Amino acid sequence: MDIQIKSQHSTREGWLQEFVSRSRPLFEEVGAPLPEQVRVSIGFPSKGQRSKVIGECFYASAAVDSVSEIFIRPSLQANPSQIADVLTHELIHAALPEGEGHGKLFGKAARALGLEGKLTATTAGAKWHELHDPILAELGAFPGAELRGAVAGGKKKQTTRMLKVVCNDEGCGFNFRTSAQQIEK
- Residue 140's contacts (CB-CB under 8 Å, 6 or more residues apart) are 6, 7, 8, 9
**What pLDDT, on a 0 to 100 scale, did the predictor assign at position 3?**
43
Q: What residues contact 19, with CB distance under 8 A and at least 6 apart? A: 40, 84, 87, 135, 136, 139
pLDDT tops 60 at residue 118:
yes
Check pLDDT > 80 for residue 131. yes
Residue that wins the pLDDT comparison between 181 and 73: 73
Q: Interhelix angle for 12-29 vs 126-139, to 10°?
A: 140
8-53 confidence digits (pLDDT tens): 777 889 999 999 999 999 999 999 999 999 999 998 888 777 778 8
Reduced DSSP (H G I as helix, E B as strand, rest coil) percent helix, strand, coil of the chain, to 5: 35, 15, 50
